[in-house]
Every structure is written in C-alpha cells, then in structure tokens.
Structure 1
C-alpha cells in the first residue's frame, strides 16, 4: 500500500526492493521445507493429470496456455510429485522468454512411460543443459531443478532435458513399467489422445 501511495521515486524504489527481498525469502523458506520433506512419506498412486492440474492452479500463467495429454495414467511416486510439475512449469515461465504454450504429454516406449514437459520459449543452451540439475547451477537459483531431480530419483524415475537452444525447453521424465498404470492399453510409440488445454 505504501508503494502505491508514495510519489517519491526513492521511496518507491526502496519499497520495490523490499517486496522483491520478501518474495525471495519466502521462496527460500518454501524450498527448504520441501527439501526437508523429501522421502518422508511413502509413495502413493497419483493421477498425472490431476497432479498437473493442481500444480497449474498455483501458477500465474498470464497468457500462456497449457496443453495436457496424460489421461488415464497414474504413477507410484513421492507425494511431492506435484511440485515436480510446478517447478518445471515455473521454470518455463521464468526463463522461457516470450513463450505462449506449455505442453505436457505422454508416450509409451519399449522401456516404459515417458512424460514430456515442453515449452515454445527460448530453450536452454548446450552448456547449461549438462548442469541444469546440479545444486549450484546458476548460483542458488538452480535449487528448484535439483529438487525436481531428487524427487524423481527417490521415486525410481529419472529426468533429462532434450530440447534445442532456440526451440524451447523439453524435459523428459522416464518412468519404468512397475511405476505406472493405465486402464487403456497403448502400443509403444502411441500417444494419449485428446489433450486438454487450459
């Protein structure tokens, strides 16, 4: 409120910095809580589409559309799986530049299920791709993707970035057969149909 009322540019700048600092502190507190909770709860069967919808409900998408093609799939994972999709989409929104769409899709392969989170933003450089999931990637800002990798690792899954610089980021989550189920049986290489766009 003080930021909106003051006409002094110095006061407005100080208030803006204070708000940014407060937001940063809150994010760090939330991250620390998430990290401390890793592996504290037994894995459970989670509907992927519902999980993504819950993550989306906590994001400010602006004009960005999200297309989801995960109907029917459930995975046995750490209850923090929602935060995986939240962090991946948040990463797209923060670093993707002028993106317009995030697509979350699934594909069966000979080795299991692959869930892909892909955006049409600026993409990730080859140099950064190798370090994305490291604890110290980009200083302290890399922690969120490190958390993503840890949650998936604890659930018996893995993640890699397979996009191209300039063509959007593309995160692929590999899930072994014992950790997913679906009522409809798909052939290897077949995608789930009828994606939902938000």
Structure 2
C-alpha cells in the first residue's frame, strides 16, 4: 500500500491526473473479433493519508481505437498525396522559371518584359504557397514538448537573411510548452520584420510575467503597422506583411497560446505571444 508504480517494472501502466491507466487488447473476446480495453484505478485515501482501497473501471474503447487508426491512416494518405502534388508543382514551376529567364533574354520590348514580370510574380506566389503547405503538413503531428525559447529564436534566425537588421533575443531561461514548430512562429515574425519595406534596423525579443501567465514580446523599430491592418493580420492571406502570421497563430493555438500586435504606427511593430500560466517555466524561478 502506498507503493509507487515503477515504470521499469510495469511499463504498460502510466499515471494520468492522479489515476493509474493502461490499455490492453484481448484478441479472443467478442466472438474472436477482439476488443480494446482501457483500465483505470484511482486510490481511496483515509484520513491518515493511507491507501484504503481503489475505484477501478474498465471501458471498451474499441470504437475509439478503430476511429483513431482510421484517422491516422487517412492523414498518412493525405500527406502522401499532398507531397506528390507539391513535388509535381515544384517541377512545373522550375520549367516555368526557365522559360521566363529565356523570355527576358530574348525580348526587349517593355510591354513584354512587364508581362513576363507579372507571370513571374504569380509563380512566386505559387511557390510561397507550396512552402507554407509544406510547413503546415506536420503541425500537430508531433506531441507538444517543453521548448527553450532562446534555441527556437536561434533556429529561426538561421533561416533568415537579416541583412543590416540586428536581432537581440533576451529569453535565455524561458521554456514554453508548445508544438515543436515554435521556431516556425518566430521565423514568420522575424522574416516580416527584417523585410526592407518595414525600415527596421533592430529587433528585440524579451518576456515578462503576467498575472495570467507569461508574454513573449517581439518588437522592432520600423514603420509599424497601421491600425486598420491589425484586425486581419492573423487571417489567411495571399501576400503582404501578414503572410505566414496565420500559420504562426495556428501553431500557437495548439497549446492554448495566442498572439496579438500592440505596436504604435510609426514607432515599430510589437507582437505579444500570450502563454497560459501552466504553459511556461523559467529556470531558477520556481
């Protein structure tokens, strides 16, 4: 009584919210069709803190298991199909880019050059959508984990041509419980900020503890974002400054985080990622 369950001795048993839980498959049940069972036990403790009994339950979860397997199989097939489509589109775009390069070399008429530039811009838009769909494919496929924020920022910056823009992340001790694609969130925010059109020369990332959790703050010293544009920043868009922020918002929402823009137009953009109280930890703080 009161003995803790050893993961090495009973690897099939795990703890969930104070309960002991296990799943078993019994192949000879249900006329040989087999059943999936979920077993759980909750300890009953007396006034002295001693375990005096338990409440046990056994549930038939065969339908849920079959549904989960079907969903995983369908997801695998959809990912395979989308991968094939992305590959074929990328190949066809490569051919199109080749023809465009030849067209620019062959023709000198301004009208033709302008026409070719329009085609190239449309092709660039298609390529951006392919890249975003490739990133979106794996979102939610891997369980969330505790991720060091500083490392995620460093991973994101390594994918960006920052030019003359200086980036200072001051988040060394902070970890957040997030989908593994947290660096993709930072990538899209920093990529937009580093765009020459923003006029930014400096980006700073910090964090602060709030009454209801924690906030990661990413701000730059560029032109900022006009108030009428803020409402649509995190909806799906085809292009412009907000491209990719829809994807960032989707990744954050998986673990209950949210994002908003609170900058002052003319003084720079300022993004706040709001983390629930159970979704962050600071080394040495607790």
- The answer for the alignment partner of 1:135 in structure 2 is 236
User: What is the aligned residue count?
Assistant: 183
> Please, which of 203, 209, 213 is the counterpart of residue 108 of structure 1?
209
Query: How far is 1:162 from its partner?
Result: 0.4
Q: Residues 15-55 of structure 1, C-alpha deviation per residue, up to 9 Å, x if partnerless?
A: 86676555433321110122232211100111100100000
Decide whether the 8 Å contact of 1:96 with 1:123 is kept in 2.
no
**1:72-83 matched pairs, under 5 angstroms:** 72-83=173-184
- The answer for the alignment partner of 1:57 in structure 2 is 158
Other structure's SS at 1:174 match: strand
**Structure 2 CA distance for partners of 1:182 and 1:164, relative to 1, 3 Å:** same
Q: Residues 109-167 of structure 1, C-alpha deviation per residue, up to 9 Å, x if partnerless?
A: 2211110110111111111111111124xx45545111111111112101111011111
Q: Give the structure-2-normalised TM-score.
A: 0.57
**Structure 2 CA distance for partners of 1:7 and 1:75, relative to 1, 3 Å:** same
Other structure's SS at 1:60 match: coil
Matched, 1:164 2:264: yes
Quick one: distance in 2 between partners of 1:184 and 1:116? 21
Other structure's SS at 2:176 match: strand
**Structure 2 CA distance for partners of 1:77 and 1:23, relative to 1, 3 Å:** same
Unaligned runs of 5+ in 1: 187-198
- The answer for the alignment partner of 2:142 in structure 1 is 41
Other structure's SS at 2:244 match: helix
**152-161 or 19-28, which deviates more:** 19-28
- The answer for the alignment partner of 2:248 in structure 1 is 148
**Structure 2 CA distance for partners of 1:17 and 1:51, relative to 1, 3 Å:** same
Quick one: distance in 1 between partners of 2:247 and 2:167? 22
- The answer for the alignment partner of 2:84 in structure 1 is none
**Structure 2 CA distance for partners of 1:89 and 1:10, relative to 1, 3 Å:** farther
For the pair shown, the structure with the greater C-alpha radius of gyration is 2
Of structures 1 and 2, the one with the larger relative CO (CA 8 A, separation 6+) is: 1
Quick one: distance in 2 between partners of 1:26 and 1:119? 28
Aligned residues: CA RMSD: 2.6
Query: How far is 1:82 from its partner?
Result: 0.6
**82-91 or 127-136, which deviates more:** 127-136
Unaligned runs of 5+ in 2: 1-97
Quick one: distance in 2 between partners of 1:118 and 1:177? 22
Quick one: distance in 2 between partners of 1:61 and 1:91? 10
Query: How far is 1:96 from its partner?
Result: 5.1
Q: Of Structure 1 and Structure 2, which has the larger fraction of its residues in strand?
A: 2
Quick one: distance in 2 between partners of 1:59 and 1:140? 18
Quick one: distance in 1 between partners of 2:221 and 2:197? 8
Quick one: distance in 2 between partners of 1:113 and 1:9? 57
Decide whether the 8 Å contact of 1:96 with 1:169 is kept in 2.
no
Q: Give the structure-1-normalised TM-score.
A: 0.81
Matched, 1:93 2:194: yes
